[in-house]
Amino acid sequence: MLRTGVAVVGILWFCRIAVAQTCPYDSRCLNNPYGAGSPYAPNGVNNPYSRYGSPYSNESARNPYATNAPALYDQQGVYHGRLSANQYDPESTSNRYGRYGSPYSSDSINNPYGAGNPYKPPMLVVPQR
């Protein structure tokens, strides 16, 4: 889980698309501190100097004011909000009152019985342009 309040189990970086799932031994997953979860991964969200991990980048999942954070999609291509620490963005996974951040919404990764179910297929994390 990311320390900024962004709720995601893990992310696999593959080209410009990532997959959210629990995978501590997969080298492409954020749960692996020696793989994509390394703070030195060039495009990783754990790297504070990358554009997706910087607290100042508008494309970062860690910037609490980002408006162009990476988007979440399930395997069928259904949109599940933005992977963002922005609590005020209505599409952010950190907005506890929004559709994609509420623990009661079926579209939210914060709902363990909805989109956040650990037994569902992984979600794709796609950087916005």
pLDDT for residue 20: 53
Question: Residues 2-26: what's their mean pLDDT?
Answer: 49
Greatest distance between any 2 Cα atoms in the chain: 35
Q: Where are the domains of the chain?
A: 1-129
The mean per-residue pLDDT over the stretch 64-78 comes to 91
**Sheet of 12-14, strands arranged across:** 12-14, 17-20, 123-126, 71-73, 79-82
Confidence band for 45, pLDDT divided at 50, 70 and 90: confident
DSSP structural state of residue 68: S
Cα 68 to chain center, whole Å? 13
Enumerate residues 6+ apart whose C-beta is below 8 A from 60.
45, 51, 52, 53, 54, 66, 69
Quote the pLDDT of residue 124: 78
